[in-house]
Structure 1
Amino acid sequence: MNIPEVDVHAVPDDAFLLDVREDDEWHAGHAPEALHIPLGELQARVEELPKDAAVYVICRVGGRSAHAAAWLNAVGRDAINVGGGMQSWAFAGRPMVSESGHEPFVA
């Protein structure tokens, strides 16, 4: 299966970013403008995603987001996997926030 993928540096600042990690991972640290829909809820909540714009999908290292991107593309959405996930995002120094008020980190 050929899933479109980009490096974290290639994610546009104004991209629609979908984070499919679990709640505890999201609370520890995430991209400020990302939408959080855990992978297990994606099918039920797909209508929350834009139909006319690319969706950049991210998880911790890229596995879950690749599955999500593949499914989204199969149902007619334009989805792109973010290679390396939030680990690469943090390593690249891209902005992060936490829900706890503590220093964000990738859980």
Structure 2
Amino acid sequence: MPTVQVGDLKDDDFLLDVREDDEWQAGHAEGALHIPISEFVARYGELTEAAPQDGRINVICRSGGRSAQVTMYLVQQGIDAVNVDGGMQAWSASGRPVVTDGGDPGFVL
């Protein structure tokens, strides 16, 4: 399983958040693309439109389990994708900002 540590991510790296809507609403990484794992197959086209053509897709969830499933799917499709080790829990613990849709401080649900 290709993985990346939160500390190795740059501010402009592409981030795909696959958590469910209630988790996203509570708080997420600013600039991340949100496609819940439960809707991923139906909304796959949104990812291919938004993702950088020559860049890596960093997949994140709460702790790393759901994002690992999506990462494996993307890798099987020939896409350069990695799982963010520790997910949003590691993101928040490392001091990275967690925000709501309104830009207010959020939290990891």
* TM-score, reference length from structure 1: 0.90
Runs of 4+, deviation exceeding 4 Å = none
Separation in 1, partners of 2:76, 2:101:
32
Pairwise CA distance, 1:65: 0.3
The question of whether the paired residues in 2 share the 8 Å contact of 1:61 and 1:84 is answered with: yes
Separation in 1, partners of 2:81, 2:69:
11
Aligned residue number for residue 38 of structure 1? 36
Counterpart amino acid of residue 32 in structure 1: E
Superposition CA RMSD, Å: 1.4
The question of whether the paired residues in 1 share the 8 Å contact of 2:19 and 2:61 is answered with: yes
Is 1:59 the equivalent of 2:61? yes
**Aligned match for 1:93, one of 87, 92, 95:** 95
Aligned residue number for residue 103 of structure 1? 105
5+ long unaligned stretches in structure 2: none
* Segment drifting more, 3-12 vs 22-31: 3-12
Counterpart amino acid of residue 6 in structure 2: V
